[in-house]
Structure 1
């Protein structure tokens, strides 16, 4: 069995690296996208306020008062104080307010110009005293943090890497196997001792090797060109992308299990990939979006891959910190692969 799997595995790899145009696209396109975003968003940040609000149930009050009653301020409900303070340190929040305490407690980054202005809005809205007298029973209690800002290029890079994994995984098996079926390759393989399980296993292993190799080249190239943070464990980052690739490759196998035309496969793959891309937080944070959008985003494998990769690269997470996301991705991969094997037909 393993000899047959290895033979198909080698044949599929040769087919890929002999396609020089496809190989170049997989490697250089994500690097160009990162450079483009680094150039576009390299200017000074705009004066827009984003304020986190710590609540017990993760919802904002129905009848807001004080700062929460102001217009033109984006309020983000949060339930994890430690993680929320970290966002203030990274300049991802201009201000953090904990309205569960009396007096109100807030955190501001001393190195953030927007945080300075947001603090003045808070003190005025809460009818508090000046910063020097705050926390003495006359106004909100002040807490300060410091930390360098995370640029948009740094924030978006884990998502770009995950996006590259998604497209390469889905189209690398979903489109190719449909082409095999249309061209009669699968019909000829059916006449051999090769079983459907052996064929699908070889496709998964081959595509996993290609995806991870291309991702390593992209990551190395971006590391040489951009000064982005990598504060966590490389082992955790590798496990996240391996689990995500396995999950998305298996999803691509489901699409290709019975389809006969590349056009239909391409349409279905687009129907699957673009909602995941929009709801996974690759380009913009899902914080502050509707509850329905956040719920739908949690159903996407790409969301778990992007969130976990950002926690590793930006927040310094280790393997144990992102183990739940890794297990979710591996569990989905096993479920998708089992369904693909059950649905698969040679013709």
Structure 2
């Protein structure tokens, strides 16, 4: 397998992570700072409904961007896809939801754009190096491998690589799907419970 073939799933997942975290987390904080959320508070809209709507709206935008990035990349490297496009769509969708949910959780109570940017960077950059975007973690110390399992990006990349390179199906990546679903549920629940309109 070429290194570029191994790298592409990680690059796509990294692009999704940045788009999700900064595209939603930073925006929510700006909404709060500008008083948009305060006005929405006067409506019957609940925090959970608002967060769910944000996830849905951002999801399709990120998936569209990822599709264009992959199509453009494929023009130059001629990537060979071995798995199902539907399976890849499912793992990408679930992975994106988990990333958006994490961004919403981070922004649930913040009102400072500077603090939000700092926290988002603090979370995103370690994820890049600990999730296997650029290199495999197989030879790394056990503590690093265990820490990587706590990151949604790790499971998104593992699932995407299994489908795109190894031709795996949804049953093969059931652990990754389950973990991403669990993380998404926890992030959304905690984010909705701690959400501050003002």
The alignment yields a C-alpha RMSD, in angstroms, of 1.0
Q: Does 1:223 align with 2:74?
A: yes
Question: Could you give the per-residue CA deviations for residues 305-324 of structure 1, whole angstroms, max 9, x where no partner exists?
Answer: 11111111111111211122
Shift of 1:174: 0.6
- TM-score, with structure 2 as normaliser: 0.97
* C-alpha contact 1:233 1:319 (8 A) present in aligned 2: no
TM-fit CA distance, 1:217? 1.4
> CA-to-partner distance for each residue in 1:175-196, whole Å, 9 max, x for gaps?
0000000111111111222222
Deviations 1:86-113 (A, max 9, x none): xxxxxxxxxxxxxxxxxxxxxxxxxxxx
Deviations 1:314-342 (A, max 9, x none): 11111211122112101110111000000
Counterpart mapping for 1:37-56 below 5 A? none
Q: TM-score, normalised by structure 1?
A: 0.56
Asked which structure has the greater CA Rg, the reply is 1
Range that drifts further, 188-197 or 296-305: 188-197
Selected match of 2:110 from 259, 264, 272: 259
Q: Is the 8 A contact 1:235 1:319 kept in 2?
A: no
Work out whether residues 258 and 343 of structure 1, in 8 Å CA contact, stay in contact via their aligned partners in 2.
yes
2:174 and 2:66 mapped to 1: Cα distance? 21
Considering Cα pairs closer than 8 Å and 6+ residues apart, tell me whether 1 or 2 has the greater RCO: 2
What's the CA shift for 1:267?
0.4
Which ranges of 4 or more aligned residues in structure 1 deviate by more than 4 Å?
Answer: none
Aligned twin of 2:153: 302
1:286 aligned residue (137, 148, 169): 137
**Distance between the aligned counterparts of 1:328 and 1:198, measured in 2?**
23
Partner of 1:171: 22
Tell me, what secondary structure is at the counterpart of 2:171? helix
- The equivalent of 2:45 in structure 1 is 194
Offset of 1:224 from its aligned partner? 2.4
Counterpart for residue 168 of structure 2? 317
- 1:116-155 equivalent positions in 2, closer than 5 A: 150-155=1-6
Question: What does residue 68 of structure 1 align with?
Answer: none
Contact in 2 for aligned 1:170/1:252 (Cα 8 Å)? yes
Partner Cα separation in structure 1 for residue 79 and residue 51 of structure 2: 37
- The equivalent residue for 1:234 is 85
| DSSP-derived class of the 1:335 partner | helix
The structure that is helix-richer by fraction is 2
* Unpaired segments ≥5 residues, structure 2: none
In the alignment, the residues of structure 1 paired with residue 141 and residue 185 of structure 2 have an alpha-carbon distance, to the nearest angstrom, of 31
**1:221 Cα deviation after fit:** 1.8
User: Of 187, 190, 204, which residue of structure 1 is paired with 2:55?
Assistant: 204
User: What is residue 9 of structure 2 aligned with on the other side?
Assistant: 158
**Which segments of 5 or more consecutive residues in structure 1 lack a partner in the other structure?**
1-149
| Aligned residue-pair number | 198
